[in-house]
Structure 1
Amino acid sequence: MDPTDPAAVLAGLIRCPSVTPRDGGALALLEALLAGQDFAVDRPVFSEAGTEPVENLFARLGEAGPHLVFAGHTDVVPPGDVADWSQDPFAAAIVGGEMIGRGAVDMKGGIAAFLAAVARHLRKHGAPRGRLSFLITGDEEGPAVNGTQKLLDWARARGERFDACLVGEPTNPDALGDMIKIGRRGSLSGEVRVAGVQGHVAYPHLADNPVRSAVQIAEALMATPLDGGTGVFQPSNLEITAIETGNASVNVIGARCSIFFNVRFNDLWTVDGLKAELAERVAAGAASAHLRPGREAAGYDLVWRERPSEAFSTGGGTGTKGAALTEALVAAITEKTGRRPQLSTSGGTSDARFIKDHCPVIEFGLVGKTMHMSNERVALSDLEGLTEIYEAFIARWFAANA
């Protein structure tokens, strides 16, 4: 397989059925391609109680100097009903100039493009004056427990230090060059477990309907905006995702009710500060009497879900590592597409939330319109275009950090 051909590399990766947390041979393929370009490759496996072991890959070239790392994941979401696909989701069929397959966009295409860009750079210019690494996990689409975070800690324990990171997630909404992600909103999830007293609906004075309290609490959580946004981030947003009682009977007042919610928040908040704010709102809602006149405050438990993430952005003033990273990528995109990309913090979370604690990180990849969909696909012209952008970016970043 020619490592300079991103379509060939992507086809090979798609044909590895790496549905999370299975590897399906994807990392072995990457290891062979990278080892053939003189990268030293490690494939650590991480696990912990209650989770399946996950294979990861760290490949490095060079011994000293500025260190650029490319991060991504080979695991993919399940294809769903194969009957909804026009082609086998793991066949990498090409139809009408597009390659169809699970992971084509999210994000085996990004990995294939960066690997091809590196191979082209090495053939034209030789090894860069510095260090170049691949940090690839098989646990991004899953619980993200045995992947990037552990791999970063593993690398640090072995003396690895990174100066900048590019994550190859699909970032463009419509066309290649539209958008770079320079940060991500934070994410915090919780559950309010409201206590009631079970009873007959015809005798409500003998019961205490937890749904009434839940409605008040939900209103208290959502009624007042958390903020108006910042120059980099859109306003923080709380969504109630479910209200459940477990009670299917129409003539019984249930004994309990749970409210589930998630907040995507900007850099005006920390996780701890947001928890305090939401705890106050829940308490106020539980004490409200407009649906429960004459009642004491409702009993409840506020339970926070594991693994919240803080908001972050990569930037800084002229001369900082973050600014230099962004400037090199913007220049490469403008050179190859004629577009000046929007610098955005929109969307969900990614493994960049772990990488930010080790070095400046930004994200740029393919157009994301078909990610996680049936018939996920990438235009071969976009795959080649991304490879050219990455190649120009590699040259610019090492030149700026020489």
Structure 2
Amino acid sequence: MSTTDPVENLQRLIRCPSVTPAEGGALSALEAMLLPLGFKVDRVVSTEDGTPDIENLYARLGNDGPHLMFAGHTDVVPVGDEGAWTHPPFAAEIVDGIMYGRGAVDMKGGIACFAAAVARHIENHGAPKGSVSFLITGDEEGPGINGTIKLLQWAHEKGERWDACLVGEPTNPDQLGDMIKIGRRGSVSGKVVVHGVQGHVAYPHLADNPLRAAIAMAGALMDPPFDHGTDEFQPSNMEVTTIDTGNPATNVLPSKVTFAFNIRFNDIWTAESLMAEITRRLDNAAAKSDLRPGRQPARYDLTWAERPSHVFLTRNNRLLDSLNAAIEKSTGRTPKLSTTGGTSDARFIKDYCPVVEFGLVGQTMHMVDENVPVADLEALTRIYQAFIARWFADAGA
């Protein structure tokens, strides 16, 4: 079976049920694609107390620079109600030019295409004059603890250095060539526990309803806006995601209420400055709530989620120019440079080298009947081929 065919590559990967944290055979399938091309492949198991062990893969072709990394993940989200699928989620069936299966676009498809592109480059031109590596995790859809971040550390300690990275996440909203992700907003999450005094609703003066303070405090986080955005980023957006008292009674004032929040923030802020602003807003609302006239400031505890995601923006002309040129050559479109969407493993990679993201159309990711047009697999492979050739040429390799 030839690695030059992205359709066959993707079928082999989809047929591996690699739902996080299971490897499911997907890394073995990728290893079987890369070894005949001359890659040296390492399978690295990362561990941490309280989390499942995760198997990852690092493969490199070449020993010299310049060094281009392709990064991604073979783990996929659960299929949900399998009976709701029109086609079995791990069968990789092709019907009317569409391949169905979990991971088709997020993101086994990108891996299949890049492997095919490298194989075609080798077949047509020989190995690149430099190095190409695959950094593939099995933990992107999970906690993200034993995946990319630890694999990067492992590789760096082994002496690996990279000049640029392309992440094959599905970045295009409607059609191939729409969008390159050149950065990501940061993300901070927290939980607030507001304390009160339990009591009877008919005697509120003997109690202290924490919901009154919690409503004011949650409102203070969402209004006024934190900013109005920048040239490169959307406005920072705060959302309260849950409010809970654990109180089933309608005639009892609860003793405490808990609410959680998440904010996606732009480069006006750092995680640290944003956390300070959130704390300031909570303190002011706890002390000045119009819903608690005459009361002392509400007592509350604030707990931050571990490891906030930091905002970043990539401005690397060689990387962007090479990818832009490849996309325009293959599709005739000029992609939008965007920082929209959620976080990705690029947030870890940016500490080691410039990184951008470009892959398939993401409209069906995580959905029932996730699918990809076969024609898009061939088109993305051609884009990746052109990118590889252009990037190494621009590097003077």
Residues in 2 aligned to 1:266 and 1:294: alpha-carbon distance in whole angstroms = 38
Name 2:55's counterpart in structure 1.
55
Shift of 1:147: 0.4
Name 1:21's counterpart in structure 2.
21
Name 2:196's counterpart in structure 1.
196
Letter paired with 1:336: S
Residues in 1 aligned to 2:345 and 2:67: alpha-carbon distance in whole angstroms = 19
Q: Could you list the per-position Cα deviations for residues 183-216 of structure 1 after superposition, in whole angstroms to 9, with x for gaps in the alignment? A: 0000000011100000001110000000000011
Name 1:346's counterpart in structure 2.
340
3-state secondary structure, aligned to 2:37 = coil
Shift of 1:289: 3.5
Name 2:297's counterpart in structure 1.
297
Name 2:392's counterpart in structure 1.
398
Q: How many residue pairs are counted as aligned between the two chains?
A: 396
Residues in 1 aligned to 2:297 and 2:12: alpha-carbon distance in whole angstroms = 60
3-state secondary structure, aligned to 1:56 = strand
Residues in 2 aligned to 1:220 and 1:4: alpha-carbon distance in whole angstroms = 55
Q: What is the TM-score with the length of structure 2 in the denominator?
A: 0.99
Unmatched tracts of structure 2, length 5 or more? none
Letter paired with 2:266: N
Determine if the alignment matches structure 1 residue 234 to structure 2 residue 234.
yes
Letter paired with 1:370: T
Determine if the alignment matches structure 1 residue 377 to structure 2 residue 371.
yes
Q: Could you list the per-position Cα deviations for residues 135-175 of structure 1 after superposition, in whole angstroms to 9, with x for gaps in the alignment? A: 00000000000000000000000000000000000000000
3-state secondary structure, aligned to 1:36 = helix
Letter paired with 2:299: G
Residues in 1 aligned to 2:2 and 2:61: alpha-carbon distance in whole angstroms = 19
3-state secondary structure, aligned to 2:286 = helix
Matched-pair contact (CA < 8 Å) for 1:314–1:323: no
Q: How does 1:217-296 map to 2 (within 5 A)?
A: 217-296=217-296
Root-mean-square deviation over aligned CA pairs = 0.5
Q: How does 1:25-174 map to 2 (within 5 A)?
A: 25-174=25-174
Identity value in percent = 65
Residues in 2 aligned to 1:77 and 1:335: alpha-carbon distance in whole angstroms = 34
Matched-pair contact (CA < 8 Å) for 1:55–1:137: yes
Letter paired with 1:50: G
Residues in 2 aligned to 1:155 and 1:271: alpha-carbon distance in whole angstroms = 27
Residues in 2 aligned to 1:84 and 1:325: alpha-carbon distance in whole angstroms = 41
Stretches of 4+ moved more than 6 A in 1? none
Residues in 2 aligned to 1:299 and 1:289: alpha-carbon distance in whole angstroms = 12
Residues in 2 aligned to 1:128 and 1:12: alpha-carbon distance in whole angstroms = 25
3-state secondary structure, aligned to 1:43 = strand
Determine if the alignment matches structure 1 residue 362 to structure 2 residue 364.
no
Name 2:383's counterpart in structure 1.
389
Letter paired with 1:302: L
Unmatched tracts of structure 1, length 5 or more? 316-321
Letter paired with 1:283: D
Shift of 1:101: 0.1
3-state secondary structure, aligned to 2:307 = coil
Residues in 1 aligned to 2:289 and 2:117: alpha-carbon distance in whole angstroms = 63
